[in-house]
Amino acid sequence: MRTIIVVGSLNMDMVFRIPGVPRRGETVMGDGFFMNPGGKGANQAVACARQGADVRMVGSVGGDVFGETLIAGLAAARVDATHVRRIEGQSTGTALIMVTGADNRIVVAAGANAMTASAQIDAALTDAHPGDVYLTQMEIPYDAMKHGLLAAKAKGLFTILNPAPAGDLDGELLSHVDLVVPNETEAETITGLSASEPHFAALAIARLLAAGVGEAIVTLGAAGCAHGDHSGIRFAPSCPVDVVDTTAAGDTFVGAIAVAVASGMKVKDALTRANAAAAITISRRGAQCSIPDKDEIEAFMGRGTDGAR
């Protein structure tokens, strides 16, 4: 299996379970609270490692106890954290997650994530090889994120962009992305299309391909996901489970896709496995603590799941 280099955020998640989102001036009593290591980058790195991949994490934490905890969590998951920088005087990134029923709303304070720099990424890519996988998101500075994608592509790595949180993406960046994986809301933002349009996922994928990406997946929640490349578009249904908490489901999905690519599998052949991994995650609470390992995914799939159609 090829190495997976994950460049992105590391956050400490503070999760509140609440009966409803408070209105202006209103105080709502929560049903529970817990803290759990998170951040899209770290979540995806852990998801890859738990499926047996050789994973290298690149990012930044503050010189505080949260930073220590996040690095320890990566080590426990067998993620190489050599290129995670501790910045004294900065706070570690944090996320406030409000869970209402099966839904969640997230507010992020970037903290040290905003200090992640191109030089860190270059150092992590020094001994990378063609065919390795480069995975990144948008919770670090745009310039560093773009620099990393271009540098990784120049070295022959397979580049994956999870454009979350969604924002403007320039044409040069998109032309260096082998696979882009937005959810429905993110796909709306980056394509300008409305999810209410008939055949939205197919139209969004077509627009992304036209913009220069090699292939695209749009995740659709309970409706599964859509994948497209220049050979066509296909859909894979979700795996029914009792939904507890959707936090990190998308990160688990993306991690499963990255591991498949690192193993030599085509993206379109990995959709069912990625949906299964995400389904396990949403049946549990929390971020990294909810991410399944390889054996759990295989056992879940052994019960029977629908394939791509």
3-state secondary structure of 111: helix
3-state secondary structure (DSSP) of residue 116? coil
Residue 96: exposure state from Cβ atoms within 10 A (0-12, 13-18, ≥19): middle
Q: Is 251 a catalytic residue?
A: yes
d(CA 277, CA 295): 11
Q: Residue 45 in contact with residue 79, Cβ under 8 Å? A: yes
Q: How far is CA 296 from CA 31, 187, 199, 246, in A?
A: 29, 30, 33, 18
Q: Are strands 11-17 and 93-100 parallel, antiparallel or unpaired?
A: parallel
Residues contacting 225, CB < 8 A, separation 6+: 217, 218, 219, 235, 236, 238, 253, 271, 274, 275
- Secondary structure of residue 299 in the 3-state scheme: helix
Q: For the chain, give the number of residues.
A: 309
For the chain, state the CA radius of gyration: 18
Q: SS3 for 57?
A: strand
Sheet with 11-17, edge to edge strand ranges: 32-38, 11-17, 93-100, 103-109
- Annotated active-site residue in 64, 229, 245, 251: 251
| Rounded-to-integer distance, Cα 72 and Cα 76, Å | 6
Active site members:
251
